[in-house]
Chain A
């Protein structure tokens, strides 16, 4: 081997030549082939791969939409309908992109929920988790700006409401709002910059996803038990075990996606967005997309505008601090009966906020939102820090292989060493 060339195992001479100079094939083999992965993932561990696919789908459909879309207030609405009518399979591309945003949030919310329930944010995965929250913030910004592009009534009025929130900040507020608008109201310059940013941000997401994955491959994955793998008997190679399991998940995901796109493409949208934007006519109820409803409910639960804005932003910013707010050493809620119950209650408060966010700001919804908001924050700021000290967790299993293979093996005496090691030989 010549000096400076990578020592490649690849057989094919052409690929080998490449791999010696740029070891991408070795890297893929290491990170997605033999990568040692806990053997006990459940199907919640599919959602990272699903999010990745969803991102690719959004970028692919988005680029084709951008070829026909006109970011101009006079033409935007009609240009989207032209895509639906006059572009070959334009309706398909647009409905995939539109419902793809909803699918993205379904997938990401499940992915985040998985991380919270199984304690995936705890050491040593804090940074991995924070990169994930960053992706979520970028995703929210991207989806918000995307929703403005078709320039229907909800596009315009949603943009008016959300951009106006920034004016609540003292001193810098008005400056930020003018910057967002590019003028003195939500108008053509706003649409132009939102389009530019909507095109840019998905690629920023790609960058952060890369860091997210890089960090994952340093610490390795968490698992439903929350117990680190202790040796080769606890892990299996990523390929073929998890490549095939992810494929099963992908097919199911595509089926849900297909039902939305082909049979109920406008079910999750608001009919008002098929009314062209009109600055002179305010819709009776301005409602954001379903995935923003919990935060919208928090915003409206607070009587003071600045207070509402701060709580709304804080409701997600707190996620960054989660690794330090949770003082328990035990990761998985499986072994934390009290925390598990209170966490599921937190999920109920989240769902309640989502429900109230879609309702008009009147009683009883305001009162319910307030109660749910209090619990939302109490979980992070009071219960979680205290539970780590007060709660007695259940005994943790000795190791993953013990817990997964053990029930039968335990009864039959110590597990034969070969039983778990055998599949490794296949890899």
Chain B
């Protein structure tokens, strides 16, 4: 058993040594801890916050950022009813076709449609954004180190004085959390910019928190099911481990010298 623990410790040490070394050295400021519930080992997504975050995405971010991996039907997973989601989808016009005459046509989006993209292609997106490409946000939280805290910090990190000696480029904005400190996206969240349907005060911090929760769900919609299954699997393996260890001791008992 002692050797056993040694092996486990060894495996653990390898994991610890291997993990963080994969991360690049950051020139940016360390992200602020947003205190997100889903970041805890057994945490889940705050549904109300995710729904508000959807509203922020819809009313603010979606003018520039696509979320190509999501379909409207997925939104039932953050606690919206199918009718509600149908209503949301119907506010977007998507291109369909070709019809019987061979022409493309516009129609309101359905549950099965992917989120409508703000720009027909990357070139159009760049043209509308001063040459910078607003990245797709579907897996953004997985695509950055400490993703949720990073996006939350980024969105609330504007309006600070750049360090002396730093010249901010044309059309660029200072943000200490962005690698290099200069980002093409300006400050997009301001206090009371939108009106939350559930009456929550839409402070910039609140909106950043909510949209981050929404994006975290979008990046890992399986997170809650995954953790739930994980707990069951570990309980099962724990019991199986104790049992097999006892059986092993019993079988090996007769090998001990009398």
Binding site for B on A (CB under 8 A): 39, 42-44, 78, 81-82, 84-85, 91-92, 95, 102, 106, 109-110, 236, 240-241, 244-245, 247-248, 251-252, 254-256, 258-263, 265-272, 274-276, 283-285, 287, 289-291, 293, 351, 354-355, 357-360, 405, 408-409, 415-416, 419-420, 422-423, 426
Known contacts: A248-B245, A285-B24, A360-B25. The answer to whether A274 contacts B10 by CB under 8 A is: no
List the A side residues contacting B254 at CB < 8 Å. 422-423, 426
Binding site for A on B (CB under 8 A): 3-4, 7-8, 10-11, 14-15, 17-19, 21-25, 41, 68-69, 74, 135-136, 138-139, 142-145, 147, 179, 219, 221-222, 226-227, 229-231, 233-234, 237-238, 240-241, 244-245, 247-248, 251-252, 254-255, 257-258
Contact assessment for A248 and B241 in the assembled complex, using a CB-CB cutoff below 8 Å? yes
Contact assessment for A268 and B22 in the assembled complex, using a CB-CB cutoff below 8 Å? yes
Contact assessment for B21 and A290 in the assembled complex, using a CB-CB cutoff below 8 Å? yes
Contact assessment for A271 and B144 in the assembled complex, using a CB-CB cutoff below 8 Å? yes
List the B side residues contacting A82 at CB < 8 Å. 69
List the B side residues contacting A283 at CB < 8 Å. 24
List the B side residues contacting A81 at CB < 8 Å. 69, 138-139
Contact assessment for B138 and A268 in the assembled complex, using a CB-CB cutoff below 8 Å? no
Contact assessment for B22 and A269 in the assembled complex, using a CB-CB cutoff below 8 Å? yes
Alpha-carbon separation in the docked complex, A423 to B254 (Å):
7
Q: Which residue of B lies closest to A103 (CB)?
A: B11
Known contacts: A240-B251, A262-B229, A275-B143. The answer to whether A419 contacts B24 by CB under 8 A is: no
Contact assessment for A354 and B139 in the assembled complex, using a CB-CB cutoff below 8 Å? no
Contact assessment for A91 and B222 in the assembled complex, using a CB-CB cutoff below 8 Å? yes
Alpha-carbon separation in the docked complex, A91 to B222 (Å):
7
Contact assessment for A44 and B234 in the assembled complex, using a CB-CB cutoff below 8 Å? no
Alpha-carbon separation in the docked complex, A72 to B68 (Å):
18
Known contacts: A81-B69, A244-B247, A268-B18. The answer to whether A43 contacts B24 by CB under 8 A is: no
Contact assessment for B245 and A359 in the assembled complex, using a CB-CB cutoff below 8 Å? no
Q: Which residue of A lies closest to B143 (CB)?
A: A274
- For B21, give its contact among A102, A269, A271, A355 (CB under 8 Å): A355
Contact assessment for B257 and A405 in the assembled complex, using a CB-CB cutoff below 8 Å? yes
Alpha-carbon separation in the docked complex, A354 to B238 (Å):
32
Give the residue among B22, B142, B147, B226 with the most A Cβ atoms within 10 A: B22
List the A side residues contacting B147 at CB < 8 Å. 271
Known contacts: A275-B143, A408-B257, A415-B257. The answer to whether A360 contacts B222 by CB under 8 A is: no
Contact assessment for B143 and A258 in the assembled complex, using a CB-CB cutoff below 8 Å? no
List the A side residues contacting B144 at CB < 8 Å. 271
List the A side residues contacting B22 at CB < 8 Å. 268-270, 287, 289-290, 358
Those 7 A-B pairs whose CB atoms lie nearest each other, nearest first: A262-B230, A358-B21, A290-B18, A285-B24, A274-B143, A91-B222, A251-B241
Q: Which residue of A lies closest to B1 (CB)?
A: A43
List the A side residues contacting B3 at CB < 8 Å. 42-44
Q: Could you pull out 12 A-B pairs where Cβ atoms are within 8 angstroms?
A: A43-B3, A43-B7, A81-B138, A92-B229, A109-B14, A251-B241, A263-B227, A270-B23, A274-B142, A275-B135, A287-B24, A408-B257
Contact assessment for B233 and A262 in the assembled complex, using a CB-CB cutoff below 8 Å? yes
List the A side residues contacting B25 at CB < 8 Å. 285, 359-360
Contact assessment for B241 and A268 in the assembled complex, using a CB-CB cutoff below 8 Å? no
Q: Which residue of B lies closest to A84 (CB)?
A: B222
List the B side residues contacting A419 at CB < 8 Å. 257-258
Contact assessment for B244 and A244 in the assembled complex, using a CB-CB cutoff below 8 Å? yes
Alpha-carbon separation in the docked complex, A254 to B236 (Å):
11
Known contacts: A81-B69, A241-B251, A409-B257. The answer to whether A106 contacts B14 by CB under 8 A is: yes
List the B side residues contacting A354 at CB < 8 Å. 17-18, 21
